[in-house]
A and B are shown apart, each in its own frame.
Chain A
């Protein structure tokens, strides 16, 4: 069972000036949508929660996962999965190698491959295992990217405009694919988007950020 994600008055500063601020509790399986025009600092918010802000940025406040403050931890120890608008599949790995890379260590090679197959089969991606990621369609790439995040067994999820590069007809299906998995795995999820339809499809609360 997952615990919630608590964003405790998290404020991001750039060169000493406040850029963006958020205070929110996200329950397991809930999707909180953060909306706002471009340039308002949505991506910086995602990077702050994930732990990879660039130099020149600073934060105050805290990010708590299961009651524990993780804001001082490096990204690799936060157990928060991130999905960007590009799938960012590793181009030098096949689809299954991309998932194997994310899977926690342990088990024989054969064992691990079986787990990858088990992960991808129920979501209809099993046929793609040996493919070069560059040959996948946009929708397939987006699905594989999500399953790669899931393979690492995250305890929360950050979605940074993950649907904005998809064609309109694909967007709806990828959206429901993502939100089904979020609910099924009971992941507290923060979605950042400028598209109101995304927020509506997520079905959770919506926070509006305003331009400063």
Chain B
């Protein structure tokens, strides 16, 4: 018997999946192993090497430790719940209508925005000296000076929660829309014909299948929120801060005895993130049981116009807040004198830009180099994996998808310190290449998720046609598939680049503080409070991913300007 496909797959295609899996899982395992030892007192990174569990006792005795831990526990599931509610409510009310496409367009730029830039935008919008309060001051509030309110950096962590939702809701919306493409919208029609209102019909008929596809992204969101660093610096509480921030502080503490504190706290961090996931899974069962009982009761929930309006507007507010924030970031970078109750600055100038131009150029060069390297490597690896899937006829199992998400389901602060130590031992640290490698770990999953659907949806009869005309599989790949898919390929590349630009912790830790990017420097400015400087850095940070996506849109349009079927970015 001859297997029609698996014969003659070249080695460079066949080894791609194994290499990719190694890059996805290897650093996570190595990093976790790296901390397991110091947590129990064996500290290869220095510090006390006595084999003792006393670090756990010491870390829990740190002032405010349990406040930090509690925040790390609840903020994951709560931010995910709010984001999912916004996204689901909107889809239930607007699926199949024009406003769905409109809001999807509005959220696309928001998605590309780095977390830090979105956080700065929120600060400029809602802080006591922010734009919203300026708009109504002194007329409505009577304030001539910014009030003494803790709106951002509030001890409850509400500003951090808001910031996380601003970034996660667009991300979950992307996950939902891609799941929606495989769901049959006629199921909602059927449910409506059976007498269920628009939102109820969608929730009962379409959402369960969609949600099944959203579970991993949601879990990634929970883990991310529970251990976020850059947003926690900008928006989170200060005394005590989120656990991840304290861990970073202990790692960077010159006093070696603090390292074992960091290692012990990492174990707590993993516990908090894990507990957040467990709570979510429990809630999932509860809600799905209730929904099932409601469905079989046959009760038709009335379609209330107020609820529908509310559900439609939530995501729009998210998009508008983020976009307004970026506008304010831009204005701040060129603002002259801008006293408190003034809604707008008295004058505009380019002083900061002129002063900082050389530094900004350097940082941009670093960022683009690292991002380009990581996302190009990821793109090639992903294309080879997908091509191997096609040629061998093996499709990705659900368990393999878990591997893909591995680096996103373990907190960055949980395994990057261990990885740093490991790379340090190998003498591979503090330079651009290791940083790009660390970015690759996080870029790979997104690149794969973005490219897999268009790649698999490609009409392979084009390839069969090429083969019948005497072309080899490799020639068909290079001359038929790649050119036809140039649009989706570039979008996957741009997404990978955006992910890389936004990375803060990997750059900081693996780079040993010696590989500055626009992101590390923008976040570092957050404590200084120089509005104009922050504005300039955050604007550059947000423009880089945009340029990537703009390029991804422009290239196919130019390349295929005389090819109608390909102009919009691919045939699929």
Contact = CB atoms under 8 A, between A and B. Distances in A.
Interface stretch (B131-139, B203-211, B314-322, B445-453): B203-211
Nearest to A47: B189
B189 A82 contact: yes
The residue among B186, B198, B208, B300 with the most chain A CB atoms within 10 A of its own CB is B186
Interface stretch (A9-17, A91-99, A191-199, A204-212): A91-99
A54 B192 CA distance: 14
Contacts of B299: 105
Contacts of B192: 51-52, 74-76
B298 A82 contact: no
Interface residues of B, number: 29
B297 interface: yes
What does DSSP make chain A's interface, helix, strand, loop or mixed?
loop
Contact of B298 (A51, A75, A105, A149): A105
A101 B197 contact: no
Contacts of A90: 187, 204-205, 208
Main DSSP-derived SS at the B contact region: helix
Contact of A76 (B184, B196, B292, B298): B196
A148 B298 CA distance: 12
A154 B194 CA distance: 8
Given A50-B193, A79-B195, A101 B204 contact: yes
B97 interface: yes
A52 B295 contact: no
Contacts of A103: 298
Contacts of A125: none
Interface in A96-136: 97, 100-106, 109, 112
Contacts of B461: none
Contacts of B201: 76
Interface residues on A, range: 35 or more
B98 interface: yes
Contacts of A84: 186, 190
B187 A77 contact: no
B296 interface: yes
A76 B204 contact: no
A103 to B, nearest CB: 5
B303 interface: yes
Contacts of B10: none
Nearest to A77: B195
Interface in B158-210: 184, 186-187, 189-198, 201, 204-205, 208-209
From A74, A86, A90, A100, name the one whose CB has the most chain B CB atoms within 10 angstroms: A90
Contacts of A47: 189
B179 to A, nearest CB: 14
B63 interface: no
Given A54-B96, A91-B209, A112-B296, A101 B194 contact: yes
A81 interface: yes
A80 interface: yes
Given A54-B96, A100-B298, A82 B303 contact: no
A55 interface: yes
A101 B296 contact: yes
B300 A88 contact: no
A106 B195 CA distance: 14
Contact of B300 (A92, A97, A105, A148): A105
A101 B200 CA distance: 12
A205 to B, nearest CB: 24
Nearest to A92: B208
Nearest to B295: A101
23 contacts: A47-B189, A50-B189, A52-B189, A75-B192, A76-B300, A76-B303, A81-B193, A82-B189, A88-B184, A88-B187, A91-B208, A97-B292, A100-B295, A100-B296, A100-B298, A102-B194, A105-B297, A105-B298, A105-B299, A105-B300, A106-B298, A109-B296, A152-B194
Given A101-B204, A102-B194, A152-B194, 15 more contacts: A47-B189, A52-B192, A55-B97, A74-B192, A76-B300, A88-B184, A91-B208, A92-B208, A93-B295, A100-B295, A101-B194, A101-B295, A101-B298, A105-B297, A152-B195
